[in-house]
Amino acid sequence: MPKTSARLLALLSLLQARRDWPGTLLAERLDISLRTVRRDVDRLRELGYPIAAVKGPDGGYRLSAGTELPPLLFDDEQAVALIIALQIAATTPGDGLAEAAARALDTIRQVLPARLRHRVNALRVTAVEPPTTRPVAPVDGDVLLAISAAVHAHEVLRFDYASEGADKHPRRVEPHHVITWDGRWYLVAWDLDRDEWRIFRVDRIILRTPNGPRFTPRALPGGDVATYVIGRFRGSDDASGGWPCRGTVILDLPAATAALYTRDGVVEEFGPDRCRLTLGSWSWPSLAAAVARFDADIDVVGPDELTNAFAHLARRFTRTAAGSGTAAPASRVEPNG
């Protein structure tokens, strides 16, 4: 039987790998008795891990959300990905989250095992912003969280809004989406006082509390947030953004992470660890390749041409991996379908 500390880490790793674990299966995987599983679960609870008992014929356990952040366990790939994302955030000019990202980066580096510390210490990534005539203002992470909570709860937001060259104006809005565009955070909302859709820069929002009453979400012009936002920023009715091909996917990545790598596109929250991404490109295969670079599970929302492009690239990559890249090419996927 492994030592208690190693066994607890193994148990925690299993609990993080899937939602529910029958107690008998945990005992089998760890090669211990069911009684030892119960004792180890109690030890993890004492350390702050919110492990709930699951009712059922076999009983079981589930790692739930708690009121505090307990120690986390990452595999090697997750740890390296986290270091890279934090380093990009920490070196992004004008990013209000840069200081917090730098502190988190230092904290994680201190506890990395030696085999990973040597690898990541050799990594030096610096985010370089393209030249711009407008300064990028910092964004308060607490404000982002508060706005996102109001979006999910469908609660009216009240805030002061400071426009350039103007005094602060109190606003009452129905918040619908928090997005990023060209490195900035925005709130898409229905302005109750002006009776119209508006896009607000999050760095200019000063929240008032408490929030207002709940509301029933309205339908956005164009049918979805990407069409509306691209149309507003590009000044185009068809919201194509100048690209002949444009598609939407769901990524298994938090919106904040995807936003680090997205400049000319729309990222919106789609749950705690998922986001909705809309991008454009000169061809469907190039668009599929641009999405694939996020290295995350992908669900295509549309159109069908993007799904076909993923299948086209999959066949090409399969031939390459098999060493037959010179085989006859698959049917060509044209830029517009």
Bridge partner residues of 173 (DSSP): 157, 191
Is the domain of 200 the same as that of 262? no
Residue 333 lies in a domain: no
- Give the phi and the psi of residue 195 in degrees, each rounded to 5: 55, 50
Highest mean pLDDT pick, 127-136, 139-148, 150-159: 150-159
128 pLDDT more than 60: no
- Domain containing residue 296: CATH number: 3.30.70
Confidence of residue 122 (pLDDT cuts 50, 70, 90): low
Is the domain of 248 the same as that of 210? no
Residue 136 lies in a domain: no
Residue 127 lies in a domain: no
Confidence of residue 236 (pLDDT cuts 50, 70, 90): very low
Confidence at residue 4, expressed as pLDDT on a 0 to 100 scale: 65
Mean pLDDT within 230-251: 67
Query: Between the CA atoms of 286, 287, 289 and 294, what dihedral angle is there, to the nearest 10 degrees?
Result: 150
Count of beta carbons in the 10 Å neighbourhood of residue 63: 20
DSSP one-letter string for 214-276:
B-PPPPPTTSSHHHHHHHHHHT-SS--TT-SEEEEEEESS-HHHHHTT-SSEEEEE-STT-EE
Measured CA to CA, the distance from residue 70 to residue 16 in angstroms comes to 13
Residue 134 lies in a domain: no
Residue 165 lies in a domain: yes
Is the domain of 170 the same as that of 191? yes
Mean pLDDT lowest for which of 177-186, 253-262, 289-298, 325-334? 325-334
By residue range, what is the domain housing residue 306? 234-321
Query: Which is more confidently placed, 264 or 32?
Result: 32
Mean pLDDT within 241-262: 78
- Provide, rounded to the nearest whole percent, the portion of the chain with pLDDT above 90: 8
Is the domain of 241 the same as that of 315? yes
Confidence at residue 173, expressed as pLDDT on a 0 to 100 scale: 94
Confidence at residue 16, expressed as pLDDT on a 0 to 100 scale: 73
Residue 69 lies in a domain: no
- Domain containing residue 53: CATH number: 1.10.10.10
Domain end residue (candidates: 218, 249, 272) = 218
Mean pLDDT within 103-112: 74
Confidence at residue 307, expressed as pLDDT on a 0 to 100 scale: 92
Is the domain of 258 the same as that of 195? no
Q: Is the CA virtual torsion 98, 103, 107, 110 positive or negative? A: positive
Confidence at residue 114, expressed as pLDDT on a 0 to 100 scale: 74
Is the domain of 26 the same as that of 93? no
Domain end residue (candidates: 218, 242, 276) = 218
Residue 131 lies in a domain: no
For the question of whether the overall pTM of this predicted structure is more than 0.75, the answer is no
Q: Give tens-digit pLDDT for 208-226.
A: 888 889 999 888 876 777 7
Distance of CA 205 to the CA centre of its chain: 22
Is the domain of 296 the same as that of 248? yes
Is the domain of 240 the same as that of 289? yes
Mean pLDDT within 163-183: 74
Confidence at residue 331, expressed as pLDDT on a 0 to 100 scale: 41
Is the domain of 45 the same as that of 92? no
Query: Which is more confidently placed, 205 or 182?
Result: 205
Domains held by the chain: number: 4
The token pair at 18 is 């899937």
Mean pLDDT within 43-64: 80
Confidence at residue 238, expressed as pLDDT on a 0 to 100 scale: 41
Q: 3-state DSSP helix/strand/coil percent for the chain, to nearest 5?
A: 40, 20, 40
- Domain containing residue 154: CATH number: 2.30.30
Q: What is residue 78's three-state secondary structure?
A: helix
Is the domain of 272 the same as that of 313? yes
Residue 133 lies in a domain: no
- Provide, rounded to the nearest whole percent, the portion of the chain with pLDDT above 70: 72
Q: Give tens-digit pLDDT for 279-329.
A: 888 788 888 988 888 878 899 998 899 999 999 888 888 888 887 545 444
Is the domain of 112 the same as that of 173? no
Is the domain of 47 the same as that of 80? no
Confidence at residue 242, expressed as pLDDT on a 0 to 100 scale: 59
Mean pLDDT within 64-83: 67
Residue in the block written with tokens 């990973």 = 116
